[in-house]
Amino acid sequence: MSKKLIDNLYRMSNPELIGLAKNRWLPNDVQMAIAKHHYRRAHTYLAENAGLDTKVRDYLWSDECNKGYVLKSLMITYGQYDQEPEKFVEFYEQYPSAWSRSPWRMATAFFGNFHWRSGGLSKTPSDLLNRIYDDHFNPRLNSSTMQDNGWSYGSSRYYLERMAKHENVDLKLAIKLSQHGLENIQRIGFNKIVELSK
C-alpha cells in the first residue's frame, strides 16, 4: 500500500496530498515522500500531525527542506519538539527578525495558542522565557524599540499576558512580571510568586 501511494504522489491533487498529510496513521515512508514533495502546504499539515515520525520531523526542520521560520514555528507550536528544549533555543536564536515580521507567529510558538493545542501552552523552557521577556517585553524598552520589534501597544499586552500565564514561568520571571507596570500583568506575576513559593 505504501509503495502504491508513494509511486502516485505526483499524480495526486493538492487536497489528496493534504488529506494524506493530516492522517496520524500514515506510514513513515509515505510521510517522508510527502515531506520531499514540492507542495509546501502539505508540509504544513505534516508539521501539525500528531503522528509525525521523528525522522520526517527532523527532515522538515532541516535547511535541505526548509530554510525559513514558518514551518519550524508550526512544529514548535504543535509540540513536535516538546521533549527537546534546545530546539526552542535554536529557533529563537536563528530567527531574531521573525519577531518584527510575524510577532503573532513567534508568540504562538513560544507561548502557545489556546485554540490549537490541548492545554494551549508550549513547552518553552524557563530560561528562554526570561530571555524573550528581556528582549521584547521589558518595560525599559522604549516604545520605538517595541514598534521596531513589530509590537503595537495592544498586541504586546496580549502576548505578554500569554507569556505571563505560561506554565514554565519561574520565580525570576514572576518577579519581573510583578514589577512590570501593567496592573493585570503585575497581578499575574504576584500570583505566580505565591504559587512558586508554596
Residues 6+ apart with CB under 8 A from 198: none
C-alpha cell at 117: 493545542
* Of 110, 116, 114, 113, the residue nearest 169 (C-alpha): 110
The predicted pLDDT at position 120 comes to: 53
pLDDT digits (tens, 9 = 90+) for 75-91: 999 999 999 999 999 99
Element (H, E) at 16: helix 14-22
Domains of the chain, by residue range, sit at 1-67, 96-198
Contact assessment for residue 104 and residue 155, using Cβ atoms and an 8 Å cutoff: yes
| Whether pLDDT at 194 is above 70 | yes
C-alpha cell at 137: 517585553
Contact assessment for residue 26 and residue 18, using Cβ atoms and an 8 Å cutoff: no
pLDDT digits (tens, 9 = 90+) for 107-163: 999 998 755 444 456 899 999 999 999 998 988 875 554 444 545 545 778 889 999
What is the pTM (predicted TM-score) of this model? 0.87
